Amino acid sequence: MKLVIALVLVALPLCCYAGSGCPGLQNMITLAINGTEDELMNATENYITSPLMTNAISQVKECFLKQSRQNLDLTLAVMNLIYNSPQCSPY
């Protein structure tokens, strides 16, 4: 759960910059939560520049696999709240 909180806090400025109109970011978050590791790797292959990045993406997916369905649903809800927040509305 700590990794999920850290992901949300680190991703907040990026999410606000992207707003809810960034299908790429939304797709990555959805795949990290609901997709398979192969789907996530295929979606991020254009951004992977080293084996370390491949390992990091694999570890993020593993973190989400260890979470309960309730935590995953709450993570999606938090992301939607961020997208629809007053701070992100100008973007």
- Distance, in Å, from the CA atom of 73 to the CA atom of 13, rounded to the nearest integer, reads 21
CB 61 within 8 A of CB 40: yes
User: What does the angle CA 69 – CA 3 – CA 87 come to, to the nearest 5 degrees?
Assistant: 90
| SS3 call for 70 | helix
Residues whose CB is less than 8 angstroms from the CB of residue 64 and which lie 6 or more positions away in sequence, other chains included: 4, 32, 33, 72
Residues whose CB is less than 8 angstroms from the CB of residue 86 and which lie 6 or more positions away in sequence, other chains included: none
Give the rounded percent of residues in the chain with a pLDDT score beyond 70.
Answer: 73
**Structural domain boundaries of the chain?**
2-83
pTM score: 0.61
For residue 1, the model assigns a pLDDT of 55
Residue range 1-39, pLDDT digits in tens: 566 665 555 555 554 444 446 677 778 888 888 888 899
